[in-house]
Chain A
């Protein structure tokens, strides 16, 4: 892959103004061979050494920088791997108390925003004719400065951004001192605003609730996707996984999830309760009443008592259960579990509770937690200044009135993500100056008069304060690709124009340093600052367990007053791990990884219950029109019985028209037909359906999993926590005895690499899939080729359903090359391109491969991928390519290598130090990305290694080994479910309803069956 970069390493200066430090790259001539053409002497690449080589850079050796992931408000710590001044990989930072290593799919894919070929590269202003033309930053700042400093009387300028934290928030305060007419409005798409509103209504203003799943023995979640997208999914996943250990002293936790559709979190719960859409508030009330009944009113603290009493006045449990379409015993059982648990947690959030009763749901969850005494144990209260931001609805009405003269939109895309009915689109036209600080010329920016390119976290300094006592610090890890600024630097530039400075800060970097110096004190600051930069922040998480607050009197009222829920058919717009709020639509990795539940890639779909589909006469893949009072969308049907018949569901994130080449025109925008809850200023992600009708248009869904049923083959197994020996999902009674060996067994003199995957921790979040794409230069093929079964992912998440109504998923199984000891692929290769190494790897020699594909045909696990074409990484996406991994050519087979480049790197270090590779030294990309540490990797010859111990566990099994004697190097540890949940169904991998399999067969099996049925 030929490549050349014009940017060097920042060496701490993100602003590019220190020109003498601008370094140029040496293109590694030795490794960067271009394709030879025939016998002619090839056009040689040049070797371009640095002019001035930074001290920390040795060409060919990776340099790591700590930082913060800026994808959501969670503030996960990251470690950024750079090569020759170029970011090539992001990993979780193990010392960060937020994610403790591990990073979600969204965080992993940030690289594709940095190197987005459609990124905005220079400031642009709209000419009178309507088209954009490039202007200088100087002119852009001058234009914007005029807009915010010369605000006419009676009007105001508004900065609209995601909630700000750390120094940016502090700087904004000072900035508003310089520009008093600028008001800040927060636009939160992550769910934190709803949680804060509920905390304010329950405990009075000035508190934020933080949840700790790691201490909870019983969790009841109403709609909150805490394992996928809600608030801080990487942290919650880690906490949850700690409660799923069989050796946990208080036993495996019991998790109940209430949601009308089977979300990823519901699929991982011990019990999924399929309620009618919009019935959560009533259920929460009934649950509170039952808990009070069970524990006795006297057990509830005096403060909470009055509010609780008011909230449960006149509640009829039977009626609530009936209205929600669930069994009353279900609520009884939930209440019993909660009332008897020594530690529990109730959370409410996400799409299904949004709308009119969102606040009531949040308050009721808080009241239940207060009634159960969870405040201070699983629900921590942080004292903080109440947010002064005004609701978005207020801004929209002011914009529509014409009283907003300047609107600065920073890093958010309300034109896309607000429902049409919010009136934002028409109101935007009434604002004389709309300025956007943005990564792409997205839907909002393309309506602006002035657009300015924003920096990513890889190119600029920033900090945040995600938890009390936790200050995350982000340093730039490469020179900015283009002339870009972040919000902090833009504010400083604007103030500079008014001849004002914030202290002595010339750049945002100076400002952050000054803030940190003020906070931590000036003693030995330089050295401490260096250590903060090195580890990615200051991590002294405060102990909040002693913070208690009285439940305010208004809480009871907020909980008692419920809006009447509308019956009939609803449509829900749900966030998922691939497209949280739609801002990541132009990342090809996220478009190509399958949605963990539906396994659909590239596009949107509408999930529909088979009963409803039958009634309407829809088959899977038919395009339907879903019309609400707020608009209509057309998208293909996906028929699944894992959804309540009264609701259809569409994923958020599709339907862009101005994001770039990968995001535009893919799917539809479900948010556009949602309603806008003007009262709470939030979007209701649940809306009534007016019409559901067939559409003559034709489209197709690409589903990457052929069979949802594992047919008792024991692929994804589970055990009850009190009966670890009895593995389910496997056909019992078939004992094969000692298998006959056809080939001489391989000896492993030095190492025998192996992997274990603990299905008790795997949530199916797909972070490993994205990490593998990033690490191993796996190409993205697009929708049409994927439809032919030609997707290239080296690791996939197999998800198997069973016939248990309340725990319908046997498990999520990350399936990668099993590096079989008796590999079926090896003996069939006519050219010896795949063979077994002495280190126990099933190795693929690309330059030997002639592309017969016999190996793939003979692979029992269907993990080999063939390069049908040569795939492109349009400049500068190719800058992300890992220089340690060969970019494969057309006609070559490829598959998981156990990240052999990382093994070689560790062996190199070990050899330099004259020792063996130690346990834990090699971590493949999938293992290091896993937010729950489900994947372990190491040497099986070392009896003390984690892998050796785990593969000897009673739960360990090898997929299909008993049938085929393939002797995989990968062991899976059966998923653990709570004993209570194990009682539920006769789930032995029986076929679940025929609706799904049958309907898929029609539209996809023919095209796709060959690659995935196993």
Chain B
């Protein structure tokens, strides 16, 4: 009996140590609005989309858009081909990213700018051309989707020098776009803390 109890105690102790360590790394955890000056910049550890305890992948079961989510798109557009091989800039297609809250998906017209002439023999390009000619919109599957109560502004982040890959990962290496970051609040906040950005609730929630 005593042996069993000790084992349980040991397990609890071990778990607590792990948890406390994680929580310590996360910072105070308090939602009290702090002025940016008083922010403890070392409080959050932000690395490869794994920042804090609340960002543990096992918690993804609560998230409708899990890390690793890579839906099939109506046209298997390869970012790797376009960005890595053909050296296109992200902003060539996602032109709204520095002037709008949204990065924006390019109009079909933009694709046709090249693909009226390039790779016209490909069945996918033929599908694209068909959509364009029949004035039938393309319906893409969203990969990065925030809930409505969270307001995110691409323009502010890009202008603050946050690179696309900070949140979206190495899209230039992806054949199929995959979600690599949790986009959870703790994950956002830890980066805000690291960079002295506002962590006031009203920055994102209104």
Can you list 21 pairs linking A and B with CB atoms under 8 Å apart?
A26-B104, A30-B102, A30-B145, A31-B151, A36-B64, A41-B64, A48-B137, A48-B138, A49-B104, A50-B107, A50-B109, A51-B107, A52-B109, A53-B110, A60-B96, A841-B202, A843-B206, A846-B149, A848-B31, A900-B206, A911-B159
CB-based contact B108/A46 at 8 Å: no
Please report which residues of chain B, range 34-70, place their CB below 8 angstroms from some CB of chain A when the two chains form the complex.
35, 61-62, 64-66
Interface: B205 (CB within 8 A) = yes
Provide the residues of chain A in CB contact with B151, threshold 8 Å: 31, 884, 904
Known: A44-B145, A843-B202, A887-B148. A49 touches B108 (CB 8 A): yes
Name which of B137, B151, B201 has the most chain A CB atoms within 10 A of its CB.
Answer: B137
Closest 6 CB pairs of A and B: A60-B100, A29-B142, A60-B102, A46-B139, A53-B107, A50-B107
Which of A371-379, A659-667, A831-839, A915-923 lines the interface with chain B? A831-839
Contact of B206 among A50, A886, A887 (CB under 8 A): A886
CA distance A19 to B135 in the complex (A): 10
What's the minimum C-beta distance from B144 to chain A, rounded to whole angstroms?
7
The answer to whether B140 has its CB under 8 Å from any CB of chain A is: yes
In the complex, which of the residues A46, A845, A887, A911 contacts B201, with contact meaning CB atoms closer than 8 Å? Answer: A845
Contact of B202 among A1, A31, A900 (CB under 8 A): A900
Query: Which residues of chain B are near A885, meaning CB under 8 Å?
Result: 206
Contact residues in A for B66 (Cβ distance below 8 Å): 41
Q: Which residues of the partner chain A approach B138 to less than 8 Å between Cβ atoms?
A: 48-49
Task: Identify which of A58, A835, A838, A848 contacts B99 (C-beta below 8 A).
Answer: A58
Q: Answer yes or no: A32 CB below 8 A from chain B CBs.
A: yes
Tell me whether A49 and B148 are in contact in the complex, defined as CB-CB below 8 angstroms, given that A44-B142, A59-B100, A900-B206 are known contacts.
no
Instruction: Give the contacts of B129-151 with A (CB-CB under 8 A).
Output: 131-132, 135, 137-142, 144-151
B142 A50 Cβ-Cβ under 8 A: no
Least CB distance, A483 to chain B, in whole angstroms: 17
* Other contacts beyond A749-B35, A911-B159: 16, CB < 8 A: A30-B145, A30-B146, A31-B151, A41-B65, A45-B142, A45-B145, A46-B139, A48-B137, A48-B140, A51-B109, A53-B107, A843-B202, A845-B202, A847-B205, A848-B201, A904-B206
Contact for B145 among A33, A52, A59, A901, CB less than 8 A: A33
* Residues on B facing A (Cβ under 8 Å): 31, 33, 35, 61-62, 64-66, 71, 96, 99-110, 131-132, 135, 137-142, 144-153, 155-156, 159, 200-202, 205-206
Is there an interface contact between A911 and B156, defined as CB atoms closer than 8 Å?
yes
Whether A51 touches B153, Cβ cut-off 8 Å, given contacts A32-B148, A845-B201, is no
Whether B148 and A886, one on each chain, are in contact in the complex, defined by CB atoms closer than 8 angstroms, is yes
Main secondary structure of the interface of B (DSSP, over half): loop
Q: How far is the CA of A48 from the CA of B102 in the complex (A)?
A: 13
Complex: chain A residue closest to B105, CB-CB: A49
- Residues on A with beta carbons closer than 8 Å to the beta carbon of B153: 908
Q: Which residues of A contact B145 (CB under 8 A)?
A: 29-30, 33, 44-45
Q: Is A800 an interface residue (CB 8 A)?
A: no
A-B CB contacts (within 8 Å), total count: 150
Chain A 13-42 residues near chain B, CB threshold 8 A: 19, 22, 24, 26, 28-33, 36, 39-42
Once bound together, how far apart are the Cα atoms of A24 and B105, in whole Å?
A: 13
Q: Say yes or no: B64 contacts A40, CB within 8 Å.
A: yes
A479-509 contact mask (Cβ, 8 Å, vs B): 1 or 0? 0000000000000000000000000000000
Are B200 and A837 in contact (CB-based, < 8 A)? yes
Contact of A838 among B33, B71, B106, B135 (CB under 8 A): B33
Q: How far is the CA of A854 from the CA of B28 in the complex (A)?
A: 26
Instruction: Check B105–A47 contact: CB distance below 8 A.
Output: yes
A31 touches B102 (CB 8 A): yes
- Using A58-B96, A886-B148 as known contacts, say yes or no to A912 and B159 having CB atoms under 8 A apart: yes
CB of A620 closer than 8 Å to a CB of B: no
Q: How far is the CB of A199 from chain B (nearest CB, A)?
A: 52
Interface size on A, residues (CB 8 A): 55
Residue pair B102, A49 in contact (C-beta under 8 Å): no
In the complex, the answer to whether B35 meets A58 with C-beta atoms within 8 Å is no
Interface check A61, CB cutoff 8 A: yes
Q: Which residues of B contact A887 (CB under 8 A)?
A: 148
Output the nearest chain B residue to A49 by Cβ-Cβ distance: B105
> Does chain B have a CB within 8 A of A669?
no
In the complex, which residues of chain B have a beta carbon less than 8 angstroms from the beta carbon of A58?
A: 96, 99-100, 104
Contact: A832 with B202, CB < 8 Å? no
For B33, list chain A residues within 8 Å (CB).
835-838
Closest B residue to A831 by beta carbon equals B31
Q: Which residues of B contact A586 (CB under 8 A)?
A: none
Q: Which of A877-897 contact B (CB under 8 A)?
A: 884-887, 897
- Chain B residue at minimal CB-CB distance from A900: B206
Which residues of chain A from 59 to 104 have any CB-CB distance to chain B below 8 Å in the complex? 59-61
**Chain B nearest Cβ from A689, distance in angstroms:** 53
Q: What per-residue 1/0 map shows which CB atoms of A146-179 lie under 8 Å from chain B?
A: 0000000000000000000000000000000000
Distance in Å from the Cβ of A838 to the closest Cβ of chain B? 6
**Smallest distance from the beta carbon of B156 to chain A beta carbons, Å?**
7
Residue of B nearest to A39 (CB): B61
Q: Which residues does chain B contribute within 8 Å of A46, judged by CB atoms?
A: 139-142
Give every chain A residue within 8 A of B71 (Cβ-Cβ). 44
Closest-CB distance, B130 to chain A (whole angstroms):
12
A887 closest partner in B (C-beta): B148
Given known A30-B102, A749-B35, A900-B202, contact A49–B147 (CB-CB < 8 A): no
| Chain A residue contacts of B148, Cβ below 8 A | 1, 31-33, 886-887
Q: Which residues of A contact B156 (CB under 8 A)?
A: 908, 911
A832:B96 contact, CB within 8 angstroms: no
Tell me whether A33 and B205 are in contact (CB under 8 A).
Answer: no
Given contacts A49-B140, A51-B135, contact A30 B152 (CB under 8 A): yes
A855 to chain B, nearest CB (A): 15
Residues in A neighbouring B105, C-beta threshold 8 A: 26, 47, 49
Most chain A CB atoms below 10 A, which of B138, B140, B141, B201: B201
